[in-house]
Structure formats: C-alpha cells, structure tokens
Amino acid sequence: MIGNDDKKGEEEEEAAEEDEDDDGEEGGLNDEEVLDMPPPWSPKLFVNKDKFTELCPKGEKTVFYKKCKVEFHSACKEVDGLVKRVTMYEDFKKLIIKETRSYFKHRRDKLILRRRFPYEFKTIEHYESSEKNNYWKKMIQVDDRWRKIYFYHHRNKDGLIYREEHIGQKVFERFKGREDRLIYRSVTYDLEVDSPEFVITDKQYCKDYFVKKMAQKFELDPKKPPEEQIRKTEFMINKNKVLIHYHYKEGQIFRKPEEIDRNDLLSQGKIGDKAEGGEENNMETNKKHQFFTFIKELEQKCYTSIKANEDQAHTERGSRRDNEKSIQQLRMQPVPEDIYTKILEKSIYEKARDKMKQKHLKVADETEEETKKDYLLPILKKLSLEDKGELDEEAAIHVKNEALKNLKERLLTRAEIIQRRLVEE
C-alpha cells in the first residue's frame, strides 16, 4: 500500500510539472482562445444634449435641509441667469429668513453672487472681472443709508479702487497708480448752508447737497524733496479757510500745517502797488500770488473731479437699475425672446450648439430641395405639357419614350467619352 501511494505522489508531481511547463510555453495561445462576451440585449444608450444640460428634470430642483433650502436651476433657463439659490432661516419652521444667496452665470454685467439680508436691508454683490463693464468687484449696500463699492485694479481711467458713500453726509474715494499721486479724496455735505458756493446734485434722490469740506491726500514722490510736496489739502468751506499739510523730511515727526484764508484765494492774492521795499517785495508778492492761484486751481479741480465722479457713479448705478427693470419685464412675458440680448450672453458651448444646429438645418434644407426637385419638368416643358395636371395614357407613354431617349443619349455620350479616353491612354 505504501509503495502504491509513493507512485501516485510521484505521478501527481510529474503531472503538475507538465502543467506548469504547458502554462509557461502556451500561455499566449490560451489567452487568444478566450471568447468575447455576448452583446448586450438592451439598445444603445442615448442622452439628449439639451436634456443633459438641464441637469435635473424640468431644469429645476429643490432640496430642504434643517434650516436651509437650496434651489437648483439650469444655466440660461432663468431670465436673470440664476443657477442656484440658498435660503437660510432663523427658525426650524422656515418662516424667518436670515440670508439669501443667489448664484448667477452668463450675465452681461458679470454679476456672479448676490447676498440679501432682508431684516438688515443689506445687499452684497460680487462681480467677475471684465473690461467692458463698470469694473465693479464688490458692492455692499444698506438701503438709503450707505454704500461701498470695490473696483478691480485694472480700472486705468482714473485709478479708482474704492468708493464709500454715506448718503447725504459724506463720500470718500481711494485711488491707486495715478500720475498726480492722489490716493484719497473726500467730500462732506451740509444741508443747512444758506449761500453755498459748491453744490453736488444727487440725481438718484433728486436732492442738492452743499459742500461743507473737501480733502485730498497725496503720496510721497521719492524723486523730489519731501518738505516741498503737499501731503494733504483741506478745503473748509464752512470755516472759510484752507489747510495745507506737507510731507515730513527725514527725521521730522511734526510739521505745523499752513493755514490760508479763502478770501485771499477768491481774490487770487491781490497784488498791490509796488512797495517801498523795491523789487524784493514785488518778488515775494508775485510768488504769493502764484501760490494762491495754484491752491485755487487745486480747489476747483477737486470740486470738478468730485462732481464728475458723482455723475459717473450715478450712471453705473443707473445701468444696474435698468438691468433689474429689464429682468422684471422679461418675467412678465410668457416666453422671453430676447433673454440673451438684454441680460444674458451665450456661453462657448451654447454658441457651438447653435452653430451645429444651423449646420444641420442647412443640410436638411439642401436635402429637402433635392427631394422636391422634379426631373421630368424639362421633358414636360419640351413637350409643352407642364401646365396639364394629370396626363392621359398616350401623353404618359410619349413622356416615357422621351425620357428613355434622353437617357440613351446621355449613356452613349458618356460611353464615347470613356472610349476616347481609353484610346488616348
């Protein structure tokens, strides 16, 4: 029994070694003999591109959370470009709205996010960078109280990067990269001035604000002596005086500002007759006159710039209000036809799809024209039968013979051409 078991074990080991050798030598052949999977029984999957871009049934979906509601919308399906709205609530019953965040896409004014706080009357808007629009980056507004606007740095017209408006009280602006090195400008209003010299008109609220004070700040030019450069100018209209602050030279920590009476500016430094001192007194008087003239021009330029920036800000806010009005009007329409022309602009993918649709329509029109083409019309005209509706048997046979005759002539002509070319070859 033991001998038989040993023989069986040796035979099994030899068979295993032979199997290993076969796998090593003929492994490639075995791989080639593997059968393919049978084809699926279901038809080929097809997804409509228009339906795929909607991302959800009917282009919108709403999901509720603990104290939040999220609404999803397909791109370019809403007149204002809304793609998502997140509403956050204070209570579990979702009655008191804490904040609403609306996300937009493909808007011409480049608005991408709007946050509303209804109980604070506060609105925050974020914009994409664009050279064709107002260069707005961010806008924070509390209705009828104050407004803050941040601008993109590539606003190279006037270098304005920030503007804050306290409605009816004060406006100040910050600048960057200007040639005159202006970095700050502010204006303070007063509604109780009887005989105002400078007036700013707020076209949005149809009010006149009287200028109480104007101020400007300038950064230091390293190429010039600091003690000769103006750091800040304050035009106090209500106190009838002007304060000129100069930059500090190296090691200086305080310098008293120069105070000027505005009456001297209005008279532009009256130059009297030649004094007894001679030419030295005249030179000092002329220098003082030039300095007063320079300050007067600086004051007038400051007022002109404030007025121009106020008009420009009103224009930019007006375009924003016009967009909102257009959106409200489009919402009243059953099917807005000019959704892209006024509020939204088409994306690259939308333009590509429109191009493909136009191409398919063109091919379909050409195919339709070919199918509508009547090949028997030339024969009917030749036989003067094009005006007749239905042909009788004799006329139909006549048309058939004429068509076969023309076919035979064309075939013979082509055969002659082929024969001639073969002979030439």
Residue 101 is predicted with a pLDDT of 96
Residue 122 is predicted with a pLDDT of 95
Residue 165 is predicted with a pLDDT of 94
Residue 117 is predicted with a pLDDT of 96
Whether residue 219 lies inside any domain: the answer is yes
- 244, 384: one domain: no
- 178, 305: one domain: yes
- 376, 249: one domain: no
- 212, 148: one domain: yes
Residue 275 is predicted with a pLDDT of 45
Whether residue 353 lies inside any domain: the answer is no
Q: Which of 142, 146, 177 has the alpha carbon at shortest distance from 161? A: 177
Domain count along the chain: 2
Residue 37 is predicted with a pLDDT of 80
- 146, 291: one domain: yes
Whether residue 35 lies inside any domain: the answer is no
- 381, 236: one domain: no
- 305, 405: one domain: no
Residue 1 is predicted with a pLDDT of 47
Greatest Cα pair distance, the chain, in angstroms, is 151
Q: What is the pLDDT of residues 342-382, one digit of tens each?
A: 778 877 877 887 888 888 888 888 777 766 666 777 777 77
- 381, 299: one domain: no
Q: Is the pTM of this model over 0.75?
A: no
Residue 69 is predicted with a pLDDT of 95
Domain interval for residue 418: 369-424
Spell out, as residue ranges, where the chain has pLDDT lower than 70: 1-33, 131-134, 156, 194-195, 268-281, 334-341, 370-374, 389
- 167, 314: one domain: yes
- 400, 295: one domain: no
Whether residue 91 lies inside any domain: the answer is no
